[in-house]
């Protein structure tokens, strides 16, 4: 099974998935741009809503850094559409119901809650540079302050001192 942190420095695995607004979206469509790719468990849950709203709130700052935000979950395109409308989201949401992309990025795995083990989405974020390489990975993300942390890191990567 792929571990998210093992992908640093490697070309990001390509994919094409359905979007709630764009039809099919492929990672290769963003060659030459920075991409913040994040995986989240479920539309309209507390942490996932906070994360999506935070990315939307900071979208202008990411856009100024020539970065696209892409969120992926196993939820359906229709679920994403309702999620977008309910919370005024402006980021790209893609559907991976078969977990193919989640697995390629190490964002699908065994989880434990209340002593029970099950497979699910491991909340993770990847920064992909304009050449398509993964330059930063945030495995097992805690939502509070995460978007600001990603934005800060993106600025550092673009302007190393």
16 is catalytic: no
Question: Which of 27, 48, 89, 94 is the catalytic position?
Answer: 48
Give the domain ranges of the chain. 4-139
Which residues are bridge partners to 71 per DSSP? 38, 93
The string of pLDDT tens digits covering residues 60-108 is: 999 999 999 999 999 999 999 999 999 999 999 999 999 999 999 999 9
Topology (CATH level 3) of domain 4-139: Glutaredoxin (3.40.30)
Distances (CA, A) of 27 to 12, 66, 128, 161: 9, 15, 10, 29
Question: Could you give the CA distance from residue 124 to residue 120 in angstroms, rounded to a whole number?
Answer: 12
Mean pLDDT, to the nearest integer, of 41-45? Answer: 93
Model confidence at 21, pLDDT cuts 50, 70, 90, reads confident
pTM of the full structure: 0.94
Q: Are 39 and 102 in contact (CB under 8 A)?
A: yes
Model confidence at 4, pLDDT cuts 50, 70, 90, reads confident
Q: Is the pLDDT of residue 41 over 90?
A: yes
Residue keyed to tokens 């030459």 = 32
Q: Is the pLDDT of residue 132 over 90?
A: yes
């Amino acid at each position: 099974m792929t571990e998210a942190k093992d992908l640093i420095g490697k070309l990001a695995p390509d994919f094409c998935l359905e979007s709630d607004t764009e039809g099919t979206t492929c990672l290769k469509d963003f060659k030459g741009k920075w991409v913040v790719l994040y995986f989240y468990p479920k539309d309209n849950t507390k942490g996932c809503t906070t994360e999506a709203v935070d990315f939307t709130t900071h979208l202008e700052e990411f856009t100024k850094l020539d970065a696209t935000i892409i969120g992926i979950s196993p939820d359906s395109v229709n679920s994403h559409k309702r999620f977008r409308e309910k919370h005024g989201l402006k980021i790209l949401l893609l559907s991976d119901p078969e977990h193919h992309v989640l697995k390629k990025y190490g964002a699908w795995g065994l989880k434990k809650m209340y002593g029970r083990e099950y497979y699910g989405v491991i909340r993770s974020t990847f920064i992909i540079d304009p050449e398509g390489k993964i330059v930063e990975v945030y495995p097992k993300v805690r939502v509070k302050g995460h978007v600001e942390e990603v934005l800060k890191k993106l600025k550092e990567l673009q302007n190393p001192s």
